[in-house]
């Protein structure tokens, strides 16, 4: 029709997500028993069985070539499938539709659809699947645990309950390198303030000795974790992408907004529970906290997760799930932690402003970079805007993000330190550096720069931003 | 409970012949000497003090009853008062005439109340009508009146430390007039009035000499007034009211408070005597005062107990400058007078000189077999810390025993404040630290979910929640430590800016026992503490972190190197590396050891990440050594199995590391140190990162000086021929650039590698000397 008709872009989206265990329905006619979870659920049963069967076949088939490393993904024109076996015989499969461009045709012909088969990165979406499992495991323990305590019925119930909500929060279009890293952003802090936080944590743990582990965050960035690294990594993900964003809105809301939590008349401090009771004074208040599973010396341990926040400082207190938490305990915690945390939060804020004034804010926007350290999972990005519950905004074009992902794949292939410099189509330079456990990706927008100039520029960045770490040139 | 006596009498008292009808005993507060005058001196005068070893014995003619007898400072001249009109003098300077000479008081009809020596040859007569200040000329056997002042005097008090004489004037005696003496000058200070609890009608002498004492406390002169309980007043008991006399040098910080402060009593009139402190005795009766170690000790006769007060100790629940006793009332530790023949302090040999005094060892009467009655009315108390029993012939110094106070003072913060101001406090403080750090009382929790805190009753009655207590204790210690460091620093600065400038009055700060540094803490408290089996590692780490926090919070960057004093780093108070780098390193080693032993690597990472454990070369090695030690030396095989693989990797941190963090952490630390480039190269080379090492050394500009052999060795070890080729050529190029010839010097010991190169790539591959 009108010549102004435009191409229509479709971002990658979730087609299917299912979990199955081939050992549950080995005989013919029992295939349905294999399926533990299927999204979308309204799909017809036979199609579900067919899809599961196909995946099973592919995995079995590829296994003949490499028994230890079966297929991880299957590329097709329209979509891509990711296979992940987190526990023996349990398979999680995610099917993502490739991004596509719909080109309108003249003369009323149906539009042509162009699938962009090469746009998706296996590493990124493979990491997304693994993250799904980790998140499930954080709140439910392993699949095996559910099987032990309540059989397949319980497992199906748990999977249904968890993934029904969780899959809605997956935003496949904005997944990128950061999902591969699954890093933790650490809050920069001077030694003295850090020691004060240490002292605070130790004192609270001493006087409320039910508390087993404590984590301390400020501005959604980690400062201290008593949990082990891998547990903290997934808890951090939950806190920053789910719990904190959900609770930040009421804080931003106006004074008279109905969203704003009722001020309980506690003028001594700003502390409040993000999990558990919203209002301690409420006689109906329930003292139930989410339970999480973390690794322990003998497998896993189940813990209550108490998240308590005062201003920008948040603390997670983890208490053995065997203990029933009471109103008295919560009141005691509130009375002890509230005032101290309020004070600490304003201390940190003060230090932070001082530091920023000294270091100079103009340094920041000059470079767009992503930094990740495999050793402590420290991640820093000037490319990404603040993460919210719904979207993860980046300030660069997806094409560039893809180049970053590609460089990362290259790095993953070898152990040695290396450096890759790419000139993108759009006159951008993309530099990837790998030194020991660290990776740095820099995007430079200098049209007429040559290779040497770019190299010099990156050296300058390292000298200013990373002068206190050992980074091989 | 014997352990509760926090006051005791000195072990070796000064013994003298007890007072009797033939033996008069006098005490001179200025020289702290006891005079035993037998038969007016005719059968001997024995002077003992200030300690039990020094004594002087002589005879003098009996010219009547002796009223007062005192040596001038340094035992140069003896003054004896026998009448109310005059004072007699005898030279004790060798080669000077020994004949007595006499000085009558100048004021007519006045009677001499007493006299005080203010120097070796200056003396003040106090008469009922004023004071007369003389200089004595022993060679001429005469005196010269320097100054006099007419004033009606009821009685007087003399404070020898400050050379201040206090005169009681007016009918009621409650207007006190101080005079200060110094180098031949007499200064009249502002008089002041003591508020009497009841004003008698008609007026009569009300303020007694016994109720007034002068003493120096924390370098300040105070007039202490024992205000007896009055029925009319609301006060529940007697009080001691302290009047701060004049303006003296300001209170010094804790580190120099024991230093004898030269008192400059200001001449200005504004320095009037002000009521400054009130000590609540909460009881009534007869009292006596002593000053020991800057504490005011109040003896109560009827209860036979004593109280102590510390005017620096702030009372939160009291009005300003009103003090309650620091500790509950206790009696002085009972003093056992040894049976005849043995002197107190059995371990000590008898002082041969004491034996020479026949009066002491002569009769059994001199050595009573009965223990002295404490607080008996025969006791006389003198300032600052002297108790004399004239009837038994003993002079004791009162002493404070600190260990019992630890149990008597529950509030550990207050206890620290108290202890840090005492003279011999170090070991007691360290024991308090050990005790706080290892509380035998931990909280118990019942698994019901109800938080039940049960204080395990313990012998020492420790309270729960020990971490805040530990923190308070550390903070108080480090506050004193910091003040000392600062004083030391400003002293150094003053010395460098020229000794003559600023009056040159600055004295080097004296390091008192209260200065407890990291080495003390490490040696006496922390290292033993971390070895304790029954203390949780969590608590150990918490205590160590608390100490590090406290150090950081209190420290000020001191640039001792090159003697420059930097401004206080208020932003990031980084603990001074120069002062105690190696000590800190041991402190950190404790932290690392504890973390590693408990497999808490992630915690260690986080501490290092936030630079809690400051960078140092030894620390890098420590980490490595610790890990190594742990891997090798773990005598417990189960531990080895448990941590084995991890530690093994750390031990070989430079090789193919299965435990990468140690590698990265060390390199980062070495990088930040910026003086450790050689170490970085070593680490990289041992990890076979030869090119990386080469690039690194080039980037820091050290390429010209490194040993080629070291790199070639490493390159050859990799077995990578191309790598060897590259490295070899790179050094040939360096040689070319430096010496104009690509070949290696014999001193570089690379012949073997040259041969290897030739063998691999042939002679022709060698770089030829450029002809240009």
- Quick check: B338 pLDDT over 60? no
Residue of higher predicted confidence among B170 and B624: B170
* Within a domain: B92: no
- Quick check: A238 pLDDT over 60? yes
**Can you give the pLDDT at residue B616?**
54
SS3 for B422?
coil
**pLDDT class of B509 with cuts at 50, 70, 90:** confident
Note the CATH number of domain A367-466: 3.30.450
Average pLDDT over every residue of A365-387: 80
SS3 for A319?
strand
Average pLDDT over every residue of B472-485: 86
| CB interface of A with B, residues 213-232, below 8 Å | 223-226, 228-229
**Can you give the pLDDT at residue B346?**
36
Average pLDDT over every residue of B464-487: 83
Percent of chain A residues topping a pLDDT of 90:
27
The answer to whether the Cβ–Cβ distance between A206 and B603 falls below 8 Å is: no
- Tell me the pLDDT tens digit for each residue of B83-109: 888 888 888 888 877 788 888 888 888
Q: Cα–Cα distances in Å, from B403 out to A381, B3, B659, B738?
A: 58, 8, 49, 71
Nearest CA in chain A to B540: A202
Tokens of B339: 């049976």
**Lowest-pLDDT range of A14-28, A452-466, B455-469, B622-636:** B622-636
Tell me, what's the ipTM? Answer: 0.83
User: If you write DSSP's letter for every residue of A120-161 in order, what string do you get?
Assistant: S-HHHHHHHHHHHHHHHHHHH--HHHHHHHHHHHHHHHHHHH
The answer to whether the Cβ–Cβ distance between A199 and B549 falls below 8 Å is: yes
Average pLDDT over every residue of A367-394: 75
Q: Which of B605, B680, B692 sits opposite A376 (nearest CB)?
A: B605
Residue of higher predicted confidence among A17 and B544: A17
Chain A residues closer than 8 Å to B552 by CB? 191-192, 195
SS3 for B491?
helix
* Within a domain: B225: yes
CATH topology of domain A191-249+268-359: Beta-Lactamase (3.30.450)
- Tell me the pLDDT tens digit for each residue of A314-341: 999 999 999 888 888 998 899 889 899 9
SS3 for B488?
helix
* Within a domain: B596: no
User: Is the preceding peptide bond at B547 cis, omega within 30 degrees of 0?
Assistant: no
The answer to whether the Cβ–Cβ distance between B606 and A328 falls below 8 Å is: no
**pLDDT class of B648 with cuts at 50, 70, 90:** very low
* Within a domain: B124: no
Nearest-angstrom CA–CA distance, A180 and A397? 18
How, if at all, do strands B274-280 and B322-323 pair? parallel
Does A8-175 carry CATH code 1.10.3720.10?
no
Nearest CA in chain A to B608: A191
Picking from B282, B301, B331, the residue at the C-terminal end of a domain is B331
| CB interface of A with B, residues 357-416, below 8 Å | 358, 373-376, 378
Percent of chain B residues topping a pLDDT of 70:
73
| CB interface of A with B, residues 186-205, below 8 Å | 186, 189-192, 194-196, 198-199, 202-203, 205
Return the bridge partners of A10, or none: A100
Chain B residues closer than 8 Å to A415 by CB? none
Same-domain pairing of B177 and B311 = yes
- Quick check: A135 pLDDT over 90? yes
Q: Which of B449, B466, B574 sits opposite A326 (nearest CB)?
A: B449
Same-domain pairing of B207 and B306 = yes
**pLDDT class of A392 with cuts at 50, 70, 90:** low
- Tell me the pLDDT tens digit for each residue of B279-330: 888 888 888 889 999 999 998 888 888 889 988 887 665 555 888 888 888 8
Do A194 and A200 form a contact (C-beta atoms < 8 A)? Answer: no
Same-domain pairing of B416 and B303 = no
* Within a domain: B101: no
**Can you give the pLDDT at residue B319?**
55
Taking alpha carbons only, the member of A388, A216, A233 closest to residue A307 is: A216
Nearest-angstrom CA–CA distance, A131 and A230? 12
Nearest-angstrom CA–CA distance, A444 and A423? 10
Same-domain pairing of B313 and B194 = yes
Residue of higher predicted confidence among A2 and B662: B662
- Quick check: A15 pLDDT over 60? yes
* Within a domain: B355: no
- Quick check: A136 pLDDT over 90? yes
**pLDDT class of B644 with cuts at 50, 70, 90:** very low
Chain A residues closer than 8 Å to B443 by CB? 207, 209
**Can you give the pLDDT at residue B564?**
29
Q: Does A65 touch chain B (CB under 8 A)?
A: no
Give the number of domains in chain B: 3
The answer to whether the Cβ–Cβ distance between A470 and B471 falls below 8 Å is: no
> B683 vs chain A: nearest CA distance in angstroms?
12
Nearest-angstrom CA–CA distance, B127 and B150? 9
Residue of higher predicted confidence among B347 and B544: B544
> B633 vs chain A: nearest CA distance in angstroms?
24
Chain B residues closer than 8 Å to A332 by CB? 451
Average pLDDT over every residue of A232-240: 92
Q: Which of B545, B571, B695 sits opposite A195 (nearest CB)?
A: B545
Q: Which of A326, A376, A470 sits opposite B609 (nearest CB)?
A: A376
The answer to whether the Cβ–Cβ distance between B542 and A202 falls below 8 Å is: yes
Chain B residues closer than 8 Å to A190 by CB? 571-572
Same-domain pairing of B697 and B549 = no
Same-domain pairing of B415 and B308 = no
Q: What are phi and psi of B464, to 5 degrees?
A: -80, 180
**Can you give the pLDDT at residue A218?**
92
Same-domain pairing of B173 and B319 = yes
* Within a domain: B610: no
Same-domain pairing of B326 and B412 = no
The answer to whether the Cβ–Cβ distance between A375 and B466 falls below 8 Å is: no
**Can you give the pLDDT at residue A91?**
92
Query: Which site among B539, B604, B608, B609 would you substitute to test the A interface, given the most A Cβ atoms closer than 10 Å to its Cβ?
Result: B609
**Between A and B, how many CB-CB pairs are < 8 A?**
119
Domain with CATH 3.30.450.70 in chain A: 8-175
**Domain range holding B758?**
690-771
**Lowest-pLDDT range of A49-53, A287-291, B195-199, B713-717:** B195-199
Q: Does A54 touch chain B (CB under 8 A)?
A: no
Mean pLDDT over the full length of chain B = 73
- B481-500 in b/e form (b: 16+ CB < 10 A) is bbbbbbbbbeebebeeeeee
**Can you give the pLDDT at residue A132?**
93
Tokens 């308090």 identify what position?
B432
* Within a domain: B320: yes
Same-domain pairing of B322 and B444 = no
């Amino acid at each position: 029709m009108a010549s102004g008709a435009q191409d229509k872009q479709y971002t990658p989206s979730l087609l299917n997500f299912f979990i199955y265990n081939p050992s549950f329905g080995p005989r013919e006619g029992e295939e349905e028993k294999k399926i533990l979870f299927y999204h979308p659920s309204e799909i017809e049963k036979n199609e579900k069985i067919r899809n599961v069967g196909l995946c099973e076949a592919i995995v079995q088939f590829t296994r003949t070539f490499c028994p230890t490393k079966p297929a991880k993904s299957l590329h097709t024109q329209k979509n891509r499938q990711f296979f992940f076996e987190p526990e023996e015989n349990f398979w999680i499969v995610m099917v993502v539709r490739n991004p596509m461009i719909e080109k309108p045709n003249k003369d009323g012909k149906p539009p042509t659809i162009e699938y962009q088969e090469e746009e998706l990165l296996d590493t990124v979406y493979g990491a997304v699947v693994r993250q799904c499992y980790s998140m499930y495991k954080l709140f439910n323990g392993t699949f095996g645990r559910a099987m032990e305590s309540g059989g397949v019925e319980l497992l199906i119930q748990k999977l249904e309950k968890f993934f029904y909500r969780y899959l809605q929060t997956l935003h496949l279009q904005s997944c990128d390198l950061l999902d591969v890293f699954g890093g933790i952003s650490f809050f920069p802090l001077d030694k003295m303030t850090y020691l004060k936080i240490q002292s605070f944590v130790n004192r609270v743990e001493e006087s409320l000795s039910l508390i087993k582990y404590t984590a301390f965050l400020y501005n959604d960035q980690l400062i201290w974790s008593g949990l082990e690294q891998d547990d903290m990594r997934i808890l951090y993900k939950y806190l920053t992408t789910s719990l904190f964003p959900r609770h930040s809105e009421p804080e931003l809301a106006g004074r008279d907004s109905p969203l704003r939590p009722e001020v309980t008349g506690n003028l001594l401090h700003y502390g409040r529970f993000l999990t558990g009771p919203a209002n301690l004074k409420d006689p109906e208040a329930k003292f139930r906290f989410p339970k999480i599973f973390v690794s322990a010396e003998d497998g896993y341990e189940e813990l209550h997760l108490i998240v308590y926040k005062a201003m920008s400082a948040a603390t997670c207190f983890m208490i053995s799930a065997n203990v029933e938490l009471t109103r008295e305990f919560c009141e005691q915690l509130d009375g002890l932690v509230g005032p101290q945390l309020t004070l600490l939060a304003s201390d940190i804020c003060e230090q932070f402003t001082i530091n920023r004034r000294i270091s100079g804010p103009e340094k920041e926007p000059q470079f767009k970079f992503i930094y990740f350290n495999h050793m402590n999972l420290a991640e820093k990005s000037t490319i990404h805007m603040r993460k919210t519950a719904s979207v993860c905004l980046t300030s660069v074009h997806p094409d560039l993000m893809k180049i970053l992902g590609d460089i990362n794949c290259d790095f993953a292939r070898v152990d040695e330190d290396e450096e890759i410099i790419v000139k993108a189509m759009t006159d951008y330079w993309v530099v990837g550096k790998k030194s020991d456990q660290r990776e740095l990706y820099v995007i430079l927008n200098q049209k007429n720069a040559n290779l040497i100039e770019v190299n010099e520029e990156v050296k300058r960045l390292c000298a200013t931003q990373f002068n206190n770490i050992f980074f091989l040139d | 409970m014997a352990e509760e006596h926090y006051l005791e009498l000195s072990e070796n008292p000064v013994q003298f012949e007890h007072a009797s009808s033939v033996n008069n005993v006098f005490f001179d507060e200025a020289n702290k000497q006891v005079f035993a005058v037998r038969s007016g001196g005719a059968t001997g005068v024995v002077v003992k003090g200030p300690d039990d070893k020094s004594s002087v014995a002589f005879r003098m003619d009996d010219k009547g009853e002796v009223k007062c007898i005192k040596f001038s400072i340094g035992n140069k001249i003896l003054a004896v008062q026998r009448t109310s009109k005059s004072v007699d003098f005898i030279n004790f300077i060798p080669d000077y005439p020994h004949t007595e000479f006499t000085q009558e008081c100048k004021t007519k009809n006045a009677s001499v109340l007493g006299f005080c020596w203010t120097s070796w040859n200056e003396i003040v007569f106090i008469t009922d009508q004023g004071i007369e200040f003389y200089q004595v000329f022993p060679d001429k056997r005469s005196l010269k009146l320097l100054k006099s002042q007419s004033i009606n005097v009821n009685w007087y008090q003399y404070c020898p430390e400050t050379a201040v004489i206090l005169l009681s004037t007016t009918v009621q005696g409650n207007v006190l007039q101080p005079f200060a003496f110094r180098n031949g000058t007499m200064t009249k200070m502002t008089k002041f009035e003591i508020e009497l609890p009841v004003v008698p009608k008609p007026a009569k002498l009300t303020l007694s000499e016994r109720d007034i004492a002068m003493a120096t406390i924390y370098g300040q002169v105070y007039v202490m007034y024992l205000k007896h309980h009055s029925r009319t007043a609301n006060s529940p008991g007697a009080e001691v009211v302290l009047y701060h006399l004049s303006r003296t040098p300001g209170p010094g910080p804790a580190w120099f408070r024991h230093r004898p402060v030269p008192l400059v009593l200001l001449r200005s009139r504004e320095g009037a005597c002000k009521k400054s402190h009130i000590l609540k005795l909460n009881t009534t009766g007869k009292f006596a005062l002593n000053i020991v170690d800057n504490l005011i000790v109040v003896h109560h006769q009827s209860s036979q107990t004593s109280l102590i007060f510390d005017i620096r100790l702030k009372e939160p629940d009291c009005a300003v400058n009103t003090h309650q006793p620091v500790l509950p009332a206790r009696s002085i530790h009972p003093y056992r007078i040894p049976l005849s023949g043995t002197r107190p302090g059995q371990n000590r040999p008898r002082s041969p000189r004491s034996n020479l005094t026949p009066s002491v060892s002569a009769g059994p009467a001199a050595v009573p077999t009965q223990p002295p009655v404490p607080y008996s009315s025969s006791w006389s108390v003198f300032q600052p810390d002297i108790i004399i029993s004239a009837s038994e012939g003993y002079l004791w110094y009162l002493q404070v025993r600190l260990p019992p106070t630890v149990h008597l003072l529950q509030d550990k913060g207050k206890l620290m404040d108290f202890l840090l101001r005492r003279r011999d406090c170090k070991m007691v403080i360290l024991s308090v630290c050990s005790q706080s750090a290892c509380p035998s009382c931990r909280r118990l929790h019942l698994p019901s979910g109800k938080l039940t805190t049960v204080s395990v009753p313990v012998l020492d009655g420790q309270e729960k929640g020990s971490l805040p207590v530990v923190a308070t204790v550390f903070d108080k210690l480090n506050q004193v430590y910091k003040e000392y460091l600062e004083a030391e620093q400003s002293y150094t600065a003053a010395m460098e800016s020229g000794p003559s400038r600023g009056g040159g009055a600055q004295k080097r700060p004296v390091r008192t026992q209260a200065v407890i540094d990291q080495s003390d803490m490490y040696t006496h408290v922390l290292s033993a503490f971390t070895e304790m089996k029954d203390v949780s590692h969590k608590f150990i780490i918490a205590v160590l972190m608390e100490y590090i926090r406290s150090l950081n919070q209190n420290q000020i960057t001191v640039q001792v190197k090159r003697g420059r004093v930097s401004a206080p780093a208020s932003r990031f108070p980084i603990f001074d590396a120069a002062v105690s780098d190696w000590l800190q390193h041991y402190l950190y080693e404790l932290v690392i050891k504890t973390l590693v032993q408990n497999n808490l690597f992630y915690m260690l990472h986080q501490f290092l990440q936030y630079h809690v454990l400051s960078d140092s070369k030894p620390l890098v090695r420590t980490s490595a050594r610790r890990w190594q030690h742990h891997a090798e030396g773990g005598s417990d095989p189960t531990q080895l199995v448990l941590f084995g693989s991890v530690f093994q990797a750390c031990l070989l941190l430079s090789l193919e590391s299965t435990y990468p963090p140690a590698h990265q952490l060390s390199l980062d630390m070495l990088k930040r140190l910026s003086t450790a480039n050689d170490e970085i190269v070593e680490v990289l080379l041992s990890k076979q990162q030869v090119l990386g090492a080469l690039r690194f050394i080039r980037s820091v500009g050290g390429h010209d000086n490194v040993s080629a052999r070291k790199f070639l060795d490493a390159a050859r070890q990799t077995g990578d021929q191309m790598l060897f080729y590259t490295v070899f050529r790179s050094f040939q190029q360096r040689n070319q650039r430096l010496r104009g010839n690509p070949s290696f010097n014999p001193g570089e010991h690379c012949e073997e590698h040259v041969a290897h190169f030739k063998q691999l790539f042939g002679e022709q591959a060698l770089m030829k000397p450029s002809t240009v």
